[in-house]
Structure 1
Amino acid sequence: MIENGAVLPMFYLPPVDYFTNLLAFKPNVVFEREEHFPKQTYRNRANIYSPDGRQVLTVPVIKGSKNHTVIKDVKISYDFRWQRAHWMGLQTCYRSSAYFEYYEDDFAPFYEKQTKYLFDYNRELLELLLRLLKIKIDIQVTDTYEPAYPHLTDLRTSLNGKNANHTQQKPYFQVFEERQGFLQNLSIADLLFNQGPQALNYL
């Protein structure tokens, strides 16, 4: 049993605050795989900085993935060409950033191949992000659902767009900040594309 660690949800292109928490508790981190899928969370959506401000990228899931569906069983829907839309969105928002071209080939495959399950897709993306950020951690997942973890900091519900992020973030350069100023807690992709190898030092 992991003690003095944290249980984290598995997000799509997680926000910066997610990685701040992950670093604070690593290596004692376990990722929730058995929870019921909560809608309208970072599990299938991410925020990026567009020319018009905050833009939400949502991974559609197959109808029937209601709150009673276990997260590991939630299937991604490909009825809509969301991968093309997300990749075009990322290019539109970050093509002029300092490091988009540096990471472009790492991210592109995630918007071409079709992964069946949302959890698996998010996990593969997380593995990429950890490698790019040079964060070494073994991804451990839950085997059963536990409503509470007495020995862990439970971050399954606190890290969401409805709550203010836990850490006040220092501003870093963002491509469109002259339009709406610094936007806090966007997807880690925003930090990577703007800061590149310095992203870990920022975190």
Structure 2
Amino acid sequence: MALFIPTYFAPIAQYSVISQCNSVTFEFEDNFQKQTYRNRCYIYGANGKLSLNIPVKHKHSENRKKTKDALIENDFPWQIQHFKSLQSAYRTSPFFEFYEDDIHKIFSKKYSFLHDVVIDTHLFVTDALQISNAYTKTSSYSSDSSEKDFRNLAIAKKGVEIEMDTYVQMFDDKFGFIPNLSILDLLFMEGPNAISFLQKISLILK
């Protein structure tokens, strides 16, 4: 069993591991934490690394809440904004049009819970990579870590060091190669060849 936290259009590092796992289990009993990939992803925009964040409702009376109970703040048109940002950044990329319709379905669907969004993005990615989309959910939280505990990959600031081959990115002539962006960056640039990149990546978990 390989254990992951489901995240929003997860970074390349996470799908590098998932693509090589026989079974995937998603942590559904953890406490929601800010500054993680749970509700954000990073893409390559015209001005460099760009964060796309799903707004999450926070109540002052709540000390802790589980990620599975996190509600989306839909008063903010985040879906429209995110899709426009992706179009602006990648519309001239080699494979954006190939995936555009399927991604648009996610940004057109109404969501209440964060976990529904991240699972839908996972199903899209596994289909695009042509890998198994099967997964199980945890029924209780365990603090025990093991060699197959990859929950740290959800930490945006210090979760992983990644060694990977470079590939052409949209604005690398301005800002250079940026590793471990959202899996979308790799898909839009490499399409079906993305899986070969994922399977050659080396990770150092922190």
Question: What is the TM-score when the length of structure 1 is the normalising length?
Answer: 0.91
Q: 1:15-164, aligned counterparts within 5 Å?
A: 15-24=11-20, 26-64=21-59, 68-150=64-146, 153-163=148-158
Change (3 A) 1:28 1:76: same
Q: Structure 1 CA distance, aligned partners of 2:166 and 2:153?
A: 22
Change (3 A) 1:63 1:138: same
1:32 aligned partner, one-letter code: E
Runs of 4+ in 1 over 6 A off after TM superposition: none
Q: Indicate the larger mover: 155-164 or 120-129.
A: 155-164
Q: Give yes or no for the alignment of 1:177 onto 2:172.
A: yes
1:106 aligned partner, one-letter code: D
Q: 1:180-195, aligned counterparts within 5 Å?
A: 180-195=175-190
Q: Indicate the larger mover: 129-138 or 87-96.
A: 129-138
1:190 aligned partner, one-letter code: D
Structure 2 stretches lacking a partner, 5+ long = 199-206
Aligned length: 197
Q: Give yes or no for the alignment of 1:168 onto 2:169.
A: no
1:80 aligned partner, one-letter code: F
Query: Which residue of 1 is the match for residue 202 of structure 2?
Result: none
Kept after mapping to 1: 8 A contact 2:13/2:153: no
1:158 is displaced (CA, Å) by 4.4
Q: Structure 2 CA distance, aligned partners of 1:42 and 1:142?
A: 19
Q: Which string of whole-angstrom CA distances, capped at 9 and with x for unpartnered residues, describes residues 9-38 of structure 1?
A: 0100100001112123x1232110010101
Q: Structure 2 CA distance, aligned partners of 1:37 and 1:159?
A: 11
1:146 is displaced (CA, Å) by 1.3
Change (3 A) 1:32 1:172: same
Q: Structure 1 CA distance, aligned partners of 2:153 and 2:130?
A: 25
1:119 aligned partner, one-letter code: H
SS in 1 for 2:151: coil
Q: Indicate the larger mover: 169-178 or 137-146.
A: 137-146
